[in-house]
Amino acid sequence: MGRAPAKRKPSSPPPPPPPGRCHFWLPNKRRHCANTPLPTSQYCGNHLPDSASDAGAPFRRLVPCPVDPSHTVLEENLEAHVGKCPLKKQAAALAAQPFYSKGINSGGGEGGGGVTSAAKRALVHKLTKDELRALIEKIKLAHASAAMAMRDSFLVTDACDNWMRNQVDRKVPYQEKHVTQQASIIGNMEAFGLLQKGGEVAEENGVKNAPAVVEFGAGRGYLTQMLADCYGIRNVFLVERRSYKLKLKI
């Protein structure tokens, strides 16, 4: 006799937003948006609903940016935004570099046409069940032949521990789980000999031989910020595909 399906616990409604905060609830982060609402709305400009719910507020529709659909803009400002979209400027600056070659890593062969993400998804959706199983087995076999045993290593140096204990300004956009992860990354870097122990930077070699850090996928640069604060490293180079927001200054 089959077991009756378990009843799902109804999700509780979100708490009221803090004073002066946007009323948009972020379910993945389990908090409200941290932005300030517009004077005529309970929401900020990023989360203004399609149909204005506030009395007397005009209808303002948000549409995806044609340059970068990951963000939206007000329809009335779309034409002006396209001309000054930060991603458009960044893409133009990248294309102007002498080393740039469009589609060089797309695997398009000599034709250079490349394969878009949408085309790749379409090919996967066209696979039969047997073809999909064969593809999964092929991936598992390739992983098993190349994978190596991994061990957990959680290390926090004294320099990072002092930094974490002295970080009392709650306005800094750090979350404890991220800080702990970054501190452990730095701890393992020191254990492998990539950093001077004790959070000290050797000065006897002069500026020319001072340590330098290149961080790929830097995001907002928090890891490099911790390196700069704890180890005094000043020669840094951050690489981020979507760095146009530049929300953190080091």
Beta strands (DSSP E) in 125-246 are 212-216, 235-239
Asked whether residue 85 is marked as a ligand-binding residue, the answer is yes
Q: How far apart are CA 148 and CA 28, in angstroms?
A: 33
pLDDT digits (tens, 9 = 90+) for 55-79: 445 556 778 888 887 777 888 888 8
On whether 178 is known to bind a ligand per the annotation, the reply is no
The answer to whether 23 is annotated as binding is no
Quick one: pLDDT band at residue 243, thresholds 50, 70, 90?
A: low
Q: Indicate the helix (H) or strand (E) that contains 72.
A: strand 72-74
Residue 143 annotated as binding site? no
User: How many helices (DSSP H) and strands (DSSP E) are in the chain?
Assistant: 7, 6
Cα 214–Cα 188–Cα 196 angle in degrees, nearest 5:
70
**pLDDT tens-digit readout, 193-221:** 888 776 555 454 445 667 888 888 888 78
* DSSP of 8-35: PPPPPPPPPPPTTS---EETTTTEE--S
